[in-house]
Amino acid sequence: MRVEKRKSDELRPVLMIPDYVIYPEGSVLISLGNTKVICNVTIEEDVPKWMKVSQKEGGWVTGEYAMLPRSTSTRTQRETRGLGGRTQEIKRLIGRSLRAAVNLEQLGSYTCIVDCDVLQADGGTRTAAITGGYVALVLALRKYIQLGKISEDVFASPIAAVSVGVVEGVPLLDLCYQEDSNAEVDVNVVMNDKNEFIEIQGTAEGATFPRYILNELLDLAQKGISELLAYQVDVLS
C-alpha cells in the first residue's frame, strides 16, 4: 500500500487554477497532491543578447525556479548569493521542456519568462512546474495572438511531465516526497502529446537496475502524462 493509498499507476489528485495571479500575462496554480507550484509568465519585447549577435530569427522561452522558504518542513534559505546547482539544473530543464512546446521562429522578437515558485513541496516539484508552466505559457501567448502580435502557428505540441520511480522493488507513478526519498530508482520524464520524449532524467539510488524496469517506468510515465495532457485541455478550454 502506498503512502496515500494510491494504486501503483495512479496520479495524485490534480488541480490547475488558471489566472491565479492577475498581473502576469499568464498564471496557473498547479497542485499535485500536497505539492503546489505557482507558474507566472511574463512576455518581454526583447530577445537574449546571443540571439541578436548571431542574428537568429524568432523569440525565446526561458524558465526560472525557486522554492519558497517554508515550502518544506524546515525553512529553505533564499538563494540571495547566486543559484545553487539544483536550482540551476531545474530551471534549465523547465526552459528546455517549454521551448519544445513552441515554434520559436513564430514567436517574433519576444522572450517568455516562466517563473515557477514552489509554495509547498511534497515531491515532483520540477515536473509540476513544467506541467503548470505549459498551461500558463499558453494563456499568455493566447493574449498576444488575440492582439495580433504573435502568429497562431506559435504552438508546437502540448507537453507535460511526471516523476516515476521504484520503491521497495515496485515501479510507481508520481512519487510523493516520502516515496521519493526512499526510492531505489528515480526518473523524471517530459513528453508531448505525440508520445515523443523531450527529456528523461533518471538515476539508480545506490544500486543498478535492469532495462525492463526502465521500460516499465516509461510506460507508467506515458500513462500519467497522457492524463495530465487531458487535464490541461480541460483547463485551457
For the segment 155-193, what is each residue's pLDDT rounded down to a tens digit?
999 999 999 999 999 999 999 999 999 999 999 999 999
Give the pLDDT band (50/70/90) at residue 123. Answer: very high
In tens, the pLDDT along 71-112 reads: 988 998 888 888 889 899 999 999 999 999 999 999 999 999
Residue 64: its pLDDT value, please? 97
Residue 82: its pLDDT value, please? 87
What DSSP character marks residue 200? E
Would you say residue 13 has pLDDT above 90? Answer: yes
Residue 206: its pLDDT value, please? 76
Grid cell 496557473 in the structure block, residue: 28
What is the average pLDDT across 23-52? Answer: 96
The rounded distance, in Å, linking the Cα atoms of 84 and 86 is 6
Return all residues near 28 (Cβ < 8 A) that are at least 6 apart.
Answer: 16, 17, 18, 19, 20, 38, 39, 132, 133, 135, 136, 139, 235
Return all residues near 190 (Cβ < 8 A) that are at least 6 apart.
Answer: 93, 97, 100, 127, 130, 159, 160, 161, 197, 198, 199, 200
Q: CATH number for the 14-236 domain, one of 3.30.530.20, 3.20.20.100, 3.30.230.70, 1.50.10.10?
A: 3.30.230.70
Residue 113: its pLDDT value, please? 98
